Amino acid sequence: MIRRVACLLLCLTSGLVLIQCESRSTRPNILLILADDLGYNDLGLSNDKFVTPNLTALAASGIRFTRHYTDAVCSTTRAGLLTGVDPAHLGFRPLRQGLSSDVETMPKVLSRAGYSTYHIGKWHVGNATAGLSPTEAGFDDWYGYLTQWDLGGKKKWPTYLDPWLQSSDTKPSEVSGHLTDLVTDKTLEVIDELSAADEPWFINLWYYAPHGPLQPAPRFAEKYPDTGEGKYYATVEQLDQSIGRVVEHLRERGIADDTLIVFLSDNGGTNTYLDNNHPYVGRKGQFLEGGVRTPMIWRWPGQLEGGRLVDEVVSYLDLLPTLAAVSGAPPTENAIAGKNIWPAVQKGGPFPARTLFWESITGDSNAYSVLDRDGRFRLVSRDGVRRLFDVEARNTANRNVSEAHPDIMSRLQNKYEAWHASGHEVPVNLTRVNESGATLVEGHAVQRTPGYAGFTFAIGVTPVVRGKDGIRSAVVVDDSPYWRLALTARGALQLDMLGERLNGPVLIAAKCSAIVVTSYFARSRRHPQNETGQIDMYVDGLRVATLTAARPFQAPAQFDRLTRVGFDRQSAEPGGFEFTSPRFFNDYFSTSKVGKPKADDIELLSREVCSVPAAG
């Protein structure tokens, strides 16, 4: 495809015809293949127990990265891969409901460069509903499933056998066959469809293999013992064979040399049946090397040197800016953490050095990790217990060396605190609508909606005495139908959130009161009866109301709303108070959280909000 020449005939006023031609030699098709839970040690390249000849051949004709880092679980890696943004800065710690429609993504960037875009396979960019599908993330079309819990239909259980699948314009339905085969068949079909057009294409092929449950097709299962380990080997071989089918199809169509293939895994292996991540300690869900260091291979014949090993640190966050550069797309406007590594990949130059961060905050638990910019030392913390690892040391890579390097521990801890503080506040757009400070809030709707993981809202409120009537009832925030904060007729706070009501104290007239509403909801697609929720309301740093419950809560489903501060949908009249600019955060502020970031301090936030003027 890229050897074709797109020509534009321009008729000039002089009657001459100018033929303007643009070569597409630097605009390849892009095939991004993501494996699910494939560990560092799960390829025949490094472990001869695995039969993966096609991925071995891919590496032999391309570049293999030995220090490629992802996040530790599926959803966060997928969000970061698509955006180039640290997933925690999008509220993925590790789960969110999805990406807001105004977030820049890889398919949006490539579409602007003239690419057709298609997503195939697993999505799981958060526990997305239909309103947060690949379509809303910018893909032209898609085929697959939003989360693995959709594969079993009404059973809400993952399966490879006769899975329930859907497309951008159909509802989920049962499809006969094996999931890995079905996804591969669809990929071949889409390659044919998109290659018939003149523009380059981007196919986002996200396999479920080798994620459990292990259900390899019989033709692969029969080669191995009927054990968990045997089934895992068979599942990986089937994945490899499927990737081989796709690569061979590109050759048959004559476009293999015109296609950049990127293969990677979304996180480390689970270590359930074998040591998936040898020689590194750690597994999926952990911020140790084994949980976040995964295979990655790039292949583009004629453009990338075959058989090359890259031992420098690279990140999954680098994919968006790098593929944007390859496609000729204009730079993204995202404040991204990823780097354009294409010059180093193509020409063998130095790779950009940077510090890498990981974070997981669930209710009162807090975990994070920092990899120093030279790639040597890794700080790992969980609930206040901090350890330091010398990743490059042959004999101490898996041993805590914090006592020997207290200065490095302190420096990396300070880096984490600054990084967390820079990304936990949601960058909303504020439009002031009256002199009292009433404000319309828009942007990043998913992050500023409570009901899924962490959410915090803060504002300074000053009730104004109106003659003999005293303090009037007023709306502080209206984000119906999900939450509303108001002052009652007697000046007391009343919070309604997802069907629950919390009552607060009477505010003091003519005094700015710092109000903080913070919540955390743990959702379960399969067991909604096990869901839990925590809602807290603070005034001037003191908790004045709280609710903790274990039951299903109302779930947000609409993300195209405006949030109104100082008025509701019925009226924009001043509500008998003045207030400072509202602030939104994508995590839960808890006074009991062990090892919490310094920025997640209720008292500090309460002191700040009354000093911030209203939106201009």
Q: How many CB atoms lie within 10 A of CB 273?
A: 16
Q: Judge whether 616 lies within some domain.
A: no
- What is the spatial distance between Cα 437 and Cα 94, in angstroms, rounded to a whole number? 35
Q: Judge whether 4 lies within some domain.
A: no
Residues 359 and 587 sit within 8 Å (Cβ to Cβ): no
Q: Would you list the DSSP string of 185-248?
A: HHHHHHHHHHHTSSS-EEEEEE--TTSSS----HHHHTTS-SSHHHHHHHHHHHHHHHHHHHHH
Both 322 and 394 in one domain: the answer is no
- What is the spatial distance between Cα 165 and Cα 188, in angstroms, rounded to a whole number? 17
Both 326 and 415 in one domain: the answer is no
CATH of the domain at 136: 3.40.720.10
- What is the spatial distance between Cα 452 and Cα 496, in angstroms, rounded to a whole number? 16
The single residue listed with the structure tokens 């908790």 is 543
**Among candidates 296, 306, 192, which has minimal Cα distance to 249?**
192
- What is the spatial distance between Cα 83 and Cα 49, in angstroms, rounded to a whole number? 35
Q: Would you list the DSSP string of 158-177?
A: --SBS-EEEETTS--EE-SS
Cis, peptide link before residue 481, omega less than 30° from 0: yes
* Distance between first and last Cα of the chain: 51
pLDDT of residue 16: 33
Q: How many CB atoms lie within 10 A of CB 214?
A: 21
Both 142 and 166 in one domain: the answer is yes
Q: How many CB atoms lie within 10 A of CB 552?
A: 15
Range of the domain at 331: 33-354
Cα separations in angstroms, 431 against 333, 563, 566, 616? 21, 11, 12, 7
Both 67 and 146 in one domain: the answer is yes
**Among candidates 78, 170, 187, which has minimal Cα distance to 124?**
78
Per the structure, how many domains does the chain have?
3
pLDDT of residue 339: 95
Both 322 and 396 in one domain: the answer is no
**Among candidates 496, 506, 485, which has minimal Cα distance to 565?**
485
How many Cα atoms are found within 13 Å in the side-chain-facing hemisphere of 445? 20
**Among candidates 302, 23, 62, 327, which has minimal Cα distance to 202?**
327
pLDDT of residue 12: 33
CATH of the domain at 590: 2.60.120.200
pLDDT of residue 553: 84
Q: Angle, to 10 degrees, between the axis of helix 319-327 and the axis of helix 74-83?
A: 30
Both 226 and 339 in one domain: the answer is yes
Residues 133 and 146 sit within 8 Å (Cβ to Cβ): yes
Query: Order of strands, edge to edge, in the sheet holding 377-382?
Result: 356-362, 365-371, 377-382, 385-390
Give ∠ CA 7-12-15 in degrees, rounded to 5.
115
Amino acid, res. 437: G
Q: The pTM is what?
A: 0.93
Both 134 and 280 in one domain: the answer is yes
- Which residues have a Cβ under 8 Å from the Cβ of 64 and sit 6 or more positions away? 45, 295, 296, 297, 308, 309, 310
Both 438 and 385 in one domain: the answer is no
Both 212 and 261 in one domain: the answer is yes
Residues 192 and 185 sit within 8 Å (Cβ to Cβ): no
Cα separations in angstroms, 7 against 11, 200, 230, 259? 13, 15, 54, 21
pLDDT of residue 590: 84
The single residue listed with the structure tokens 């709303």 is 561
Cα separations in angstroms, 307 against 58, 63, 66, 365? 9, 6, 13, 43
Both tokens of residue 477? 């925030």
Last residue of a domain, one of 423, 454, 470: 423
Both 379 and 495 in one domain: the answer is no
Q: Judge whether 614 lies within some domain.
A: no
pLDDT of residue 188: 98
The single residue listed with the structure tokens 């030995």 is 66
Last residue of a domain, one of 403, 423, 443: 423
Helices and strands counted in the chain (H then E): 11, 31
Both 73 and 111 in one domain: the answer is yes
Q: Angle, to 10 degrees, between the axis of helix 53-60 and the axis of helix 228-252?
A: 50
pLDDT of residue 577: 78
pLDDT of residue 21: 33
The single residue listed with the structure tokens 């693995």 is 148
Both tokens of residue 94? 């590790």
Q: Judge whether 25 lies within some domain.
A: no
Q: Judge whether 14 lies within some domain.
A: no
Residues 449 and 482 sit within 8 Å (Cβ to Cβ): yes
Q: Judge whether 375 lies within some domain.
A: yes
Q: Judge whether 452 lies within some domain.
A: yes
Both 115 and 221 in one domain: the answer is yes
Last residue of a domain, one of 407, 423, 439: 423
Q: How many CB atoms lie within 10 A of CB 159?
A: 17
Residue ranges of the chain with per-residue pLDDT less than 70: 1-26, 333-334, 394-397, 465-472, 571-576, 593, 614-616
Q: Judge whether 28 lies within some domain.
A: no
